[in-house]
A and B are shown apart, each in its own frame.
Chain A
Amino acid sequence: MSSIFSIGLSGLNSAKAALSTTSHNIGHVNTPGYHRQRVSQAAAFPSFEGYGYLGRGVELTAVNRVYNRYLERQLANATTQDANYATQLNTLAQLDDLLGDPATSLSTSISGMFKSLQGINASPESIPARQAAINGMQAFAGNVQLLNTRLEELRQGTNTQIRATVSQVNAIASQIADINVQIQSLSQADAMPNDLLDQRDQLVLDLNKLVKADVTVQSDGRYTISIGSGQALVASGEHFPLEVVENAVDPQKLEIAYAGSNGTVRIPDRLFDGGSLSGLINSKAEAINRAQADLGRLVIEVADQMNRQSSLGRDLYNEQGGPLFKDLNGFRPLAVGEVNPATGQVETLESQMKAYRDAAANFSVVVSDPSRLAVGSSLKAGSLDATQPVQPVITSIWQTAPGNHEDYAPTGKAPDLPAGGFEVRYDAASSSFVVAKPATGYEIVPNGQAAGGFILRATDPANKLTIEFKAEGMGKDDKTFTIGNKASGLDTAEGKADFQPADNANMLEMIKIQTKDTMSSTPNGTTNFTPPGSAIKTTNFEGFFGQLVSFVGSKTNEVKVAAEAQVTTLKETYLARESFSGVNLDEEAANLIRYQQAYQASSKVIQIAQQIFSDLLQMR
């Protein structure tokens, strides 16, 4: 009888436990990270009654959560990669829109600048045309600054996000450490506090959204979380916080570090493999860095080429032309790993990026007086003496700046004419021009690209002096010309005599810079954005900008495709876990009925037992 009672009671208890577990499950249907729990019951140890073993009721053995470690790990991996791609896409999409917008496109404003320079050619002395050209240059500089500012904002936004992410990582890590301790203290034999375990797993998933974290389960059930290539973030109850430190050379570059036994140890970027932290780091390293490096290299080259040609011309005051843009050659960096001969320092990625960013920030127009634009050439060609025939004549002559920056070193100025200038003779017998004075070292060849044009250059390849001129009326007469620099200034008689206000030969040459191949392609990768000095120049300014836009576009496209694929993978993994561990309300509803019936049946058993007892008591 008492055994019936206790058996009924045990059934009641187990049904009650199952019911409360079921209602617990129902209540948590929407809790993220909740694994449904099941009560497992087993038969109590039977008692020997002489005729056999009699069961003694049901006993609850455990409340388990339905948990599959493999699915959990899959989900963590999928989550971390998804966060990685989503964060990268976020940054890259902004960069993509910025570069692709035709209104802010650098290519358009470079075209506009050269168009306004072309406007000078029609009327070289016209001040309004020159002012329009200066405005065109200033518009270009403004556009560069706009782009640079936006890139800086993107970079700083990324930096801010990195800091926020790291502090979030630290917060979550400390929470995990606390739960570790709690779980350990609450664990009794084989029973673990399921809800705390769920909380801890959800925290690990949240951590994976930020950074890829690997979990190792210790024998006592504690989690050891490690990131990167094994740096411990949480080890049992202790949590090792991460820090964000600035690079010594480039304060805009942030590095993640932790406090090791001997001071701060920096973790290399490539060890961060997933999560939004890695997405931020990667988008900065690949896209933002490349965009800023290319922008810096472009403006350094534009300023250099235009300034150099400008210094070979004469302005409306008959003075030698000055720089149009601020000289940025001081910022020009080398390829990573090369040693700077002047300072002896090795170029690192950080110093290279800093140099490019400073160059872009410093790009500006320094010429403001329209009359100071060096439109005319600084060379003149004249007859040797009055006995020379009228024809042939040299109709324009100018000096062409050397194409490469390296050809200007070490004096920093254009090559000079030999002392006393040139004497050039047109020889009617051979129908060609010859250099009469100096006797050796220079030659004249016809210019294949311009009809009636000739190039006077040095035979020694180290001397980069190049003079071009156009001649006509070559007939039967020999004629000797003198070629030299014009007298400068308008205050002397010679200066006034040599002043040619409608001469636009230098501007014509400057305009040709737009279509010259002046830029070499940027090497791929994230470790170096400067091609070596010997790289072949393959494209012009606008084509170079197009290469940058294409790079960002294809990178964005690549990440977009990967992100879409990853979202699907994440969804599938999540569904797999859900179908294993998630709560199904219909199932729980059916369970409610089942356990309710069991409860009713067990309570009936107790009622019957009570009735038997009372029947027993009523026996006289």
Chain B
Amino acid sequence: MRISSNTQYIASTYSIQSNQYRLSRLNEQLSSLQRINRPSDDPVASAQLINLQQSISRNDQMVANSKTIESSLALSEEYLFRAGEIIQNIQSLAVQAGNASLKDEDRAYIRTQLQEQTKALVGLANSTDGQGKYVFGGTRSQTPPFSLELEPEMKVEYHGDWGRQEIQASSTRDIAVTEPGGLVFGGGSAVADPNKPDAFSDGNQLWQSLARLDKILADGPNGMAKAGGPEGSEVKDAAGDTVLGADGKPMTFKDGLPRLDASGAPLLEPVLDNAGDPVLGPDGVTPLMQAQTTDLPPTYDESLAASIEGLKGGHEQLLRSHTAVGARRAEVEQLAKTGEGLDVQYKATVGQLQDLDYAQAVSDLNMALLAMDTTQKTYKLVSELNLFRYL
């Protein structure tokens, strides 16, 4: 087999070069401690790594969002808790107002306290977060959501809207961080029908009952309708005359009817026959009267009882919102924990794909160094063999 002088040179050069290449690759892996330094090292794993990086990044964002949500909800919860306490104070005030032995000054005193508590409640409802945003305004966060007027009568109105601001807590969950004040506290203190001041509407009971309480404390039992006189006594109208009842005889009080209005006059309505015309009395001119039983203006005690009911309803509404906020906080905590667990999983998968087997790499490096050294020595030895040395 003939070989030429260049053969040995070419073969050795090739060996040295491939050894150097292997050494430089191992060097790169060892200095970055990664098996994959560029996509061509392992294209399939590189594509997987990109997807994993995307998932990791989104997961981190979700965990960070969860923390933001948690702090916003904590703030709301704090305010709702204090609002609940204020409502409890108001409820005890309302019970005090039912004491029959109260004089007018006592009632005025209770009314002042009530107004102060209401101001505190509205102030809470208008509270802001650290950046000056109104927390309970829905999405109208730049103007105070509730307005309160005390004179001539207490009036509360909601100027915010009903939207919620949401933050993404996971790929399928957007969690609300604001409560619309209208849903938590109520929309306004105006009653639907002014003739039925105790008919509170669902969702507005808190403000409506506060306004009603204020009104009745201002009016007092004497300023409102009262139950009828003693049982069996005669009914006297505003002029002091007797009134003829439906049976033609003078009317007597019975079961508190007819009711007396604020000035003491009995609340009566004419008796109507089948055609709807008033039935006339024996004198043929004055109509017969009967006690008004429908649309009666409420008495102090009735209104107070309705207000206490309304306050209870309003408190329950607040508690419902409070509970909802608490539930969301618990959910967000859970999502944050899940996110952190996922993060560990993702990083473990990335490590599996990308981490270098350090021991293997170091032993490969040693072998490559040995091979390189040997190749170089061999080249030197063989290149010294030459017939011209001996000529």
Q: Which residues of A contact B (CB under 8 A)?
A: 29-30, 92-93, 96-97, 99-100, 102, 105, 107-108, 111, 114-115, 118, 121-126, 376, 389-391, 393-396, 449-451, 470, 473, 477, 499-505, 508, 511, 514-515, 542-543, 545-547, 549-554, 556-557, 560, 567, 571, 574-575, 578-587, 589-590, 592-593
Segment with Cβ contacts to A, from B2-10, B219-227, B257-265, B364-372: B2-10
Indicate which residue in B54, B65, B391 contacts A542 across the interface (CB closer than 8 Å).
Answer: B54
Question: A583 contacts which chain B residues (CB < 8 A)?
Answer: 4-6
B68 within 8 A of A: yes
Q: How large is the interface on B (under 10, 10 to 19, 20 to 34, 35 or more residues)?
A: 35 or more
The CA-CA distance from A590 to B391 in the complex, in Å, is: 10
Contacting pair A393 B166 (CB below 8 A): no
Contacting pair B133 A125 (CB below 8 A): yes
The CA-CA distance from A508 to B171 in the complex, in Å, is: 11
Contacting pair A589 B391 (CB below 8 A): yes
Question: B57 contacts which chain A residues (CB < 8 A)?
Answer: 108, 111, 115
Given contacts A390-B183, A393-B183, A560-B40, 15 further A-B contacts (CB under 8 A): A93-B38, A102-B53, A111-B57, A121-B168, A389-B201, A390-B201, A500-B161, A542-B51, A553-B41, A553-B42, A557-B43, A571-B14, A578-B7, A584-B2, A586-B386
Contacting pair A501 B141 (CB below 8 A): yes
Q: How far is the CB of A122 from chain B (nearest CB, A)?
A: 5
The CA-CA distance from A557 to B40 in the complex, in Å, is: 5
Indicate which residue in A449, A554, A560, A579 contacts B172 across the interface (CB closer than 8 Å).
Answer: A449
Contacting pair A502 B167 (CB below 8 A): no
Contacting pair A553 B43 (CB below 8 A): yes
Question: A99 contacts which chain B residues (CB < 8 A)?
Answer: 39
Q: Mark B1-29, 1 if CB is under 8 A from A, else 0.
A: 11111110011001000000000000000
* Chain A interface SS verdict (over half): helix
Indicate which residue in B54, B131, B183 contacts A391 across the interface (CB closer than 8 Å).
Answer: B183
The CA-CA distance from A435 to B61 in the complex, in Å, is: 37
Indicate which residue in B5, B61, B180 contacts A393 across the interface (CB closer than 8 Å).
Answer: B180
Q: Nearest 8 pairs between A and B by C-beta? A: A582-B4, A553-B39, A553-B43, A390-B203, A546-B50, A550-B47, A556-B40, A554-B43
Contacting pair B202 A391 (CB below 8 A): yes
The CA-CA distance from A547 to B174 in the complex, in Å, is: 30
B242 within 8 A of A: no
- For window 258-284 of B, CB contacts with A under 8 Å fall at none
* Nearest-neighbor residue (CB-CB) of B65 within chain A: A118
A115-B57, A550-B46, A579-B1 known; A96 and B386 CB under 8 Å? Answer: no
Q: How far is the CB of A476 from chain B (nearest CB, A)?
A: 10
Q: Which residues of B contact A (CB under 8 A)?
A: 1-7, 10-11, 14, 37-44, 46-47, 50-51, 53-54, 57-58, 61, 65, 68, 72, 131, 133, 137-142, 161-168, 171-174, 176-178, 180, 182-183, 187, 201-204, 386-388, 391
Contacting pair A508 B6 (CB below 8 A): no
* Nearest-neighbor residue (CB-CB) of B176 within chain A: A395
* Nearest-neighbor residue (CB-CB) of B203 within chain A: A390
Question: B178 contacts which chain A residues (CB < 8 A)?
Answer: 502
Contacting pair B139 A584 (CB below 8 A): no
Question: B202 contacts which chain A residues (CB < 8 A)?
Answer: 389-391, 477
Contacting pair B39 A391 (CB below 8 A): no
Contacting pair B388 A121 (CB below 8 A): no
The CA-CA distance from A501 to B138 in the complex, in Å, is: 10
Contacting pair B386 A543 (CB below 8 A): no
A selection of 24 A-B contacts at a CB cut-off of 8 Å is: A100-B39, A102-B53, A111-B54, A126-B131, A389-B202, A393-B182, A451-B173, A477-B202, A501-B142, A502-B133, A504-B165, A511-B168, A552-B40, A553-B40, A553-B43, A556-B38, A571-B10, A571-B14, A578-B4, A579-B7, A585-B386, A586-B5, A586-B387, A589-B391
Indicate which residue in A115, A575, A582 contacts B5 across the interface (CB closer than 8 Å).
Answer: A582
Indicate which residue in A125, A390, A556 contacts B39 across the interface (CB closer than 8 Å).
Answer: A556
